[in-house]
Amino acid sequence: MRAHDYALQANGSFALPDACFKVKALMSDDSAEISDFADVISIDPSMTSRLLKIANSAIYSFPGEISTISRAITIIGTQAIYNMMLVDVAASAFKHFENQAIDLKRFWRMSVYCGLAAKNIAISAGVRDIERLFIAGLLQNFGELLVAKISPELAQSCEKYNKTQLPWQLQELTLGYTYTDISANLLKIWQIPEKIILPIRHFNAAPSIEINKDVKILNLASRLALIDSHREEFSMDDVIDASLCPSLGMSCEDLKQAADFADKEATNILLMMNPKLFSK
């Protein structure tokens, strides 16, 4: 199967809710008002509740409590609300996906950690709109869930990575492409903004290509996530390309701070997204 074929088979827990498409359409409508956005979201009380929970979590760290969707839109804007809906999609897939082919705790820890690390690195690199980097980090490896669901034997093979055969190298060998290629195709189908898809599509080649800072940030964040989940197997010297740091105006110490930040916040966010799995 091609990467696009896996993306086309995404359904159920992996489908983007209609509300996301409606909100995205409203964002392109200059005449749309806050009440229009709130009306679309409030039709689904459970989504409203989840979005408010996300809005008041450590993911966004907004000052003061946000108690209504209208207030959230007023304070943080429509783009942030849309981003929260994407987080909610991930959380929903999190709760409904069951599979023995991969280590789900490891998958979700790496995904959330990557998002948090990307967000923190973006701050150090002086990048604006840092939430898009959190979303990119969170969703960059979603392709792994699709392969685990559709071709579990291939997912199991891809999970046998090590120092001599890194995850993306083993995926390329086994599938002919990486999980992130599948993720990029899925997000394209979901009509996710290209500025989120672009770094996902290219970050594994960051040391050899020049596109933008987002690509380098996601590369570093993904490697920190790998180290975090396999501390006995990998170190920064094994997987981090230190030459990327100066090009972002960062030091190795900044990278360690990003890792500390992600480590500190990941557990709380994972508990919020799936208390059943992570309270064990």
**In the chain, alpha helices (H):** 3-8, 18-27, 34-42, 45-55, 69-76, 78-96, 104-124, 131-139, 143-150, 152-158, 167-175, 179-189, 194-202, 213-229, 236-239, 244-247, 252-273, 275-278
**Is pTM beyond 0.85 here?**
yes
Residue 127 lies in a domain: yes
In tens, the pLDDT along 56-88 reads 887 777 777 888 889 888 888 888 888 888 888
Residue 48 lies in a domain: no
* pLDDT value, residue 10: 78
Report percent pLDDT > 90 for the chain: 51
Domain of 203 in residue numbering reads as: 3-16+79-278
- Tokens matching residue 16: 């983007």
Q: At what angle do helices 104-124 and 252-273 cross, to 10 degrees?
A: 130
Residue 27 lies in a domain: no
Where residue 95 sits, what CATH number does that domain have? 1.10.3210.10
Residue 54 lies in a domain: no
pLDDT band at 280 (very low <50, low <70, confident <90, very high): low
In tens, the pLDDT along 134-168 reads 999 999 999 999 999 899 999 999 999 999 999 99
Residue 21 lies in a domain: no
| Domains contained in the chain, number | 1
pLDDT band at 238 (very low <50, low <70, confident <90, very high): confident
Residue 42 lies in a domain: no
Q: Where on the phi/psi map is residue 142: left (φ > 0), alpha (ψ -120 to 50), or beta?
A: alpha
Residue 40 lies in a domain: no
Residue 146 lies in a domain: yes
Q: At what angle do helices 78-96 and 69-76 cross, to 10 degrees?
A: 130
- Tokens matching residue 143: 């392709």
